[in-house]
Chains A and B, each alone.
Chain A
């Protein structure tokens, strides 16, 4: 799979040069080690272990209704984590995505129900508002120079509050959804059974391509790895940072709309939204994105989201009581991360992951 910089690009069929040396070295490695040279190798193993554990220890886990329950659970994190990965590779963090996720569907509702825009236009308008929030975050971080942790924490509370104000803390019926018949709009944007899954796969693939094979991706790594050096080389670091915040917020807003359409109601629940924020960050981190920046993959975050989904679904099926649920979730995340770190040490053959 295509991975971000730092991993080894496919060996070229050249008789001379570094490619040959690599091929020889790789031949000497065991198959397992070769697999682990993929940055996503460790999270794939962790996810498989979790999958096998639940598949073998319960007999309901592999049923289609259980797997269908898993889809809407992991797809939203996978999309939000994809945006967060870009921000985290920049050595920043966006804590406001939960609030943007909460806020955007209400704008969608207002634009449709109060302003009278058709569904698609209302959605585009709501996404633009979400991206404006990202633009604000990005400019405050890159131009004013306030840390992203503080900036987006501020945006988080402001937007959560604003959502409660404009919604009067009451839920509404999401535009375009109806109990009687699911329309085409709703089918595509969250209402269809596999809608969110398709969006998640499509977005993850496109963004991984962007990260690995475009200047945007290279500059994202450069700005996170050596901000001064990147600027000295000519990279417009403020533009790179701002662009990633805008994309991250846009994706969070999009997921907010998908989920509102799927549930058919739009609910102003700030605490639920922030759980989603932390799950998205967990998915990115479990998937191998470093908090200190310069390294990460979208595919890894996608698999990290699947891991969280399996865990949630599996614990539900095993009948773990609600009180124990977050406890076990936390323990499982810690174990997964420890394993991840250990495996990446094996991978790099050094003391630092």
Chain B
């Protein structure tokens, strides 16, 4: 599917604004024969919340993992706060101020809530390099209270928590740091209605502070219009649509996606017909 040729006119070209925090041009990434991200142009303004939509397998998570330093892109250029940006590792990206909530959450079942909250961010007691567990417990409690989601105990392995609770921990871990660009890959996927609202509230609060800029992958259009300033749609590894949420509607987004679906179906039917004809000819 990813290897279908994308008509050039559908690719949204590079755009810039003076207050861009992050700018991405012609970024691409393949895994062996599979092209996950074909040609992505994207920009994120300071203090903005950008919603990223797209079908399963469209390349959204791959793009996020390129931005956060987990994958190295095959090509393209990136700028962060006006400087060329080519993160060498997840740690490098974080030191540049980019932090991520992954789709798979990146939690370790066997570690406790507070150990996961501080995974690769551990507080160390000096002079011996021992973990400062008391500080980490205290700060975990504070960060979780800020989310408002009920996690009764922070000394239990996260394997014993519900899907939504685990997601809350992953979100709290990222937003309680001091990153100023936050990437969230489907942060509401496992959340109940109330918990989802709590997380969106939290994001609204962060936005009100004006310090952070956010890219958020979502599947629910309602959430997009609730939380985002702008929405981009990824199809087959390119950005095919990009508009401020104020200038578009659920109907328009739906129409684009359905249109894409229709096109794909027609292509498939044409192919089937072609195969059938070829078989007829062979017989």
Distance in angstroms from A293 CB to nearest chain B CB is 9
Given contacts A225-B109, A232-B70, contact A18 B152 (CB under 8 A): yes
Given contacts A214-B131, A215-B131, contact A233 B155 (CB under 8 A): no
Give every chain B residue within 8 A of A219 (Cβ-Cβ): 120
| Alpha-carbon separation in the docked complex, A340 to B90 (Å) | 40
| Alpha-carbon separation in the docked complex, A213 to B124 (Å) | 10
Asked if A18 and B90 make an inter-chain contact with CB atoms under 8 angstroms apart, the answer reads no
B230 at the interface (CB under 8 A from A): no
Given contacts A5-B115, A215-B124, contact A234 B107 (CB under 8 A): no
Within 8 A of B (CB), among A50-98: none
Distance in angstroms from B276 CB to nearest chain A CB is 43
**0/1 per residue, B159-177, Cβ < 8 Å to A?**
0000000000000000000
Identify whether the interface residues of A are mostly helix, strand, loop, or mixed: helix
| Alpha-carbon separation in the docked complex, A219 to B94 (Å) | 18
Distance in angstroms from A225 CB to nearest chain B CB is 4
B106 at the interface (CB under 8 A from A): yes
| Alpha-carbon separation in the docked complex, A6 to B132 (Å) | 17
Asked if A229 and B111 make an inter-chain contact with CB atoms under 8 angstroms apart, the answer reads no
Asked if B90 and A229 make an inter-chain contact with CB atoms under 8 angstroms apart, the answer reads no
Most buried by B among A12, A219, A226: A226
Distance in angstroms from A262 CB to nearest chain B CB is 33
Among B65, B90, B110, B130, contact of A233 (Cβ-Cβ < 8 Å): B90
| Alpha-carbon separation in the docked complex, A339 to B137 (Å) | 34
B112 at the interface (CB under 8 A from A): yes
Give every chain A residue within 8 A of B155 (Cβ-Cβ): 8-9, 18-19, 22
Interface residues on B, range: 20 to 34
A218 at the interface (CB under 8 A from B): yes
Within 8 A of B (CB), among A220-240: 221-222, 224-226, 228-236
Asked if A232 and B154 make an inter-chain contact with CB atoms under 8 angstroms apart, the answer reads no
Give every chain B residue within 8 A of A17 (Cβ-Cβ): 141, 154
Give every chain A residue within 8 A of B134 (Cβ-Cβ): 12
Asked if B115 and A218 make an inter-chain contact with CB atoms under 8 angstroms apart, the answer reads yes
B279 at the interface (CB under 8 A from A): no
Q: Which residue of chain B lies nearest to A295 when distances are taken between CB atoms in the complex?
A: B110
Most buried by A among B91, B111, B154: B111
| Alpha-carbon separation in the docked complex, A337 to B48 (Å) | 57
| Alpha-carbon separation in the docked complex, A241 to B157 (Å) | 22
Q: Which residue of chain A lies nearest to B153 when distances are taken between CB atoms in the complex?
A: A18
**0/1 per residue, A271-293, Cβ < 8 Å to B?**
00000000000000000000000
A294 at the interface (CB under 8 A from B): yes
Give every chain B residue within 8 A of A154 (Cβ-Cβ): none
Asked if A229 and B110 make an inter-chain contact with CB atoms under 8 angstroms apart, the answer reads no
A21 at the interface (CB under 8 A from B): yes
B89 at the interface (CB under 8 A from A): yes
Give every chain A residue within 8 A of B141 (Cβ-Cβ): 17
Give every chain A residue within 8 A of B137 (Cβ-Cβ): 12
What are 6 A-B contacts defined by CB distance under 8 Å? A6-B111, A18-B152, A18-B155, A219-B120, A229-B106, A232-B104
| List of 10 A-B pairs having minimum Cβ-Cβ separation, nearest first | A18-B153, A232-B106, A229-B106, A234-B90, A234-B120, A225-B110, A294-B110, A225-B108, A222-B108, A233-B120
Residues of A within 8 A of B (CB): 5-6, 8-9, 12, 17-19, 21-22, 209, 213-215, 218-219, 221-222, 224-226, 228-236, 294-295
